[in-house]
Chain A
Amino acid sequence: MKYVLLFAETEKFAKELAAMDDDERQAAYEKVTEWFARHAAQITHHGHLQPAHTATTVRLDEAEPLFTDGPYVEGKEVVSGYAEVEVADLDEAMGIARDWPACPIVEIRPLA
């Protein structure tokens, strides 16, 4: 069964990341690299999104498509990336998500 792990950042996390010096940031990135290596057998593909200020949203529920700047939900939590995993069940997907070393929120959603 395939699940997508949706990674979400908070303002607090973004600030902490911005406040890091080069060495600290390097160490944080290495932890993420290690995580991907550790779960390489289950991860089928993954991507990191550009920051929220690059987002454009189109709404199609009106007569004309409406394009706006920014992510579709205005909030303190913003999706920043995803990883697709192929595992037996939700417990295994939760096991992978639980030691994710970076942003503080991960949504686990089964792929239809």
Chain B
Amino acid sequence: MDEVHAELARVLREHAGRLTASLIRTIGDFAAAEDVMQDAVETALRRWPQDGIPDHPDAWLLTTARRRGIDLLRRQANYRDKLARLQWPVRGEPGDRLKLIFTCCHPALPVPAQVALTLRTVCGLTTGQIAAAFLVPEATVGQRITRAKRKITDARIPYRIPSDAELDERLNQVLAVVYLLFNEGYLASGGDRPHARDLADDAEWLAADLAWLMPRHPEVLGLLALIRLHQARTAARFGGDGRLVLLSDQDRSRWDHDAVKETTRLIERAAAMRRPGPYQLQAAIVVCHAEAPTWDDTDWAQILVLYDMLLHLTRTPVVRLHRAIAVRYVRGPEAALDELAPLAKPLDGHHLYHATRAELLRDLGRHREAHTADSRALALTDNPAQQALLTERLSWT
């Protein structure tokens, strides 16, 4: 992404959600406020690249939103009057942004709509940018957002921070949406779309915002740490030819070791709260990798302990698969292959299952079976970098 677009993204991310929250508070209607703000964002994206980013971008956005809002909502006199009274600088409360995030990630909305709504409402992306990031038609994203907003209004999904009784479950949903965004961006990175919004950056920003707003929730810190650790290794993930480089082959001097050190402190802060969770554990596992000077120095025994804890909290086939990789380095490929056996059915459609199996089979000298497993993995991934890697492996045998 070039400088101008990166700066535009940063400024809009910083202000759009804040202003949307103020608009919702002023006119009391989520859907209308969100429409008006989206319009201001689109105007900014047209004007700013030519005119330059104004000195007070939030004042500019607010003025534009107010003017367009008064026009768009001309049939709703009560909204218009409220909008007309809105002045910059707007009074903002940290709770406002949380209400916004929790409403966008409400479990009564389908997950793709939660994702789209969060990006548009909280991070200031346009419908077109969301569609480009997920490689779906713009009309599809528009429809998801329209339907979601209609449901918020008609089924009366509340605009508030969930009660203490609901908070943990609802927060997990928010974190899941942020992590999904991150993974989407992380996998797509290094692609050939220089102007596309980097969803990984949006996810990191969201996680940092949540960590600032909810500092006593260790899983929020855990997710932020996990995202920052992945980001710290981004530079080494792709070779000069755009090929994906496996962890074992990465040039560790290209990792951002200062960021790793800083993030380790974040994990320690979370751990001191003594409420371990999946994000904290995954972050701790990444730290183990990040702190090993070379691949051969990796503390696999410690990683396996962390995976055991993770498996205890989330008994999913995917966690078992990743744990099996740690088993390979502690107890050998034979033991790891045994761990994979019960996953054959649940993970049959998962490329990493077949790719991992191929590596273990190759370790055991079972090359023909390895080849079959790699072919299966190749057929199951759409990601060009992963495809290239598997194609290369297939050429070995």
Give the interface of A toward B (CB within 8 A): 1, 88-91, 94-95, 108, 110
Contact = CB atoms under 8 A, between A and B. Distances in A.
A91 B155 contact: no
11 contacts: A1-B156, A88-B158, A89-B156, A89-B157, A90-B106, A90-B156, A91-B158, A94-B107, A94-B108, A110-B154, A110-B156
Contacts of A91: 157-158, 162-163, 166
Mostly helix, strand, loop or mixed at chain A's interface? mixed
B108 A95 contact: no
Interface in B101-132: 106-108
Contacts of A90: 106, 108, 155-158
B155 A110 contact: yes
Nearest to B107: A94
A90 B155 CA distance: 6
Contacts of A94: 107-108
Contacts of A108: 155
Contacts, number: 24
Contacts of B165: 95
Contacts of A95: 165-166
Given A91-B158, A91-B163, 12 more contacts: A88-B158, A89-B156, A89-B157, A89-B158, A90-B106, A90-B156, A90-B157, A95-B165, A95-B166, A110-B154, A110-B155, A110-B156
Q: Most chain-B CB neighbours within 10 Å: which of A89, A91, A110?
A: A91
Contacts of B166: 91, 95
Nearest to B165: A95
A9 to B, nearest CB: 22
Nearest to B151: A90
Contacts of B162: 91
Contacts of A110: 154-156
B158 to A, nearest CB: 4
B132 to A, nearest CB: 32
Nearest to B157: A90
Contacts of B157: 89-91
Interface in B165-182: 165-166
Interface in B138-161: 154-158
Nearest to B162: A91
Nearest first, the 8 closest Cβ-Cβ pairs linking A and B are A89-B158, A89-B156, A90-B157, A110-B155, A90-B155, A1-B156, A91-B158, A90-B156
Nearest to B158: A89
Contacts of B108: 90, 94
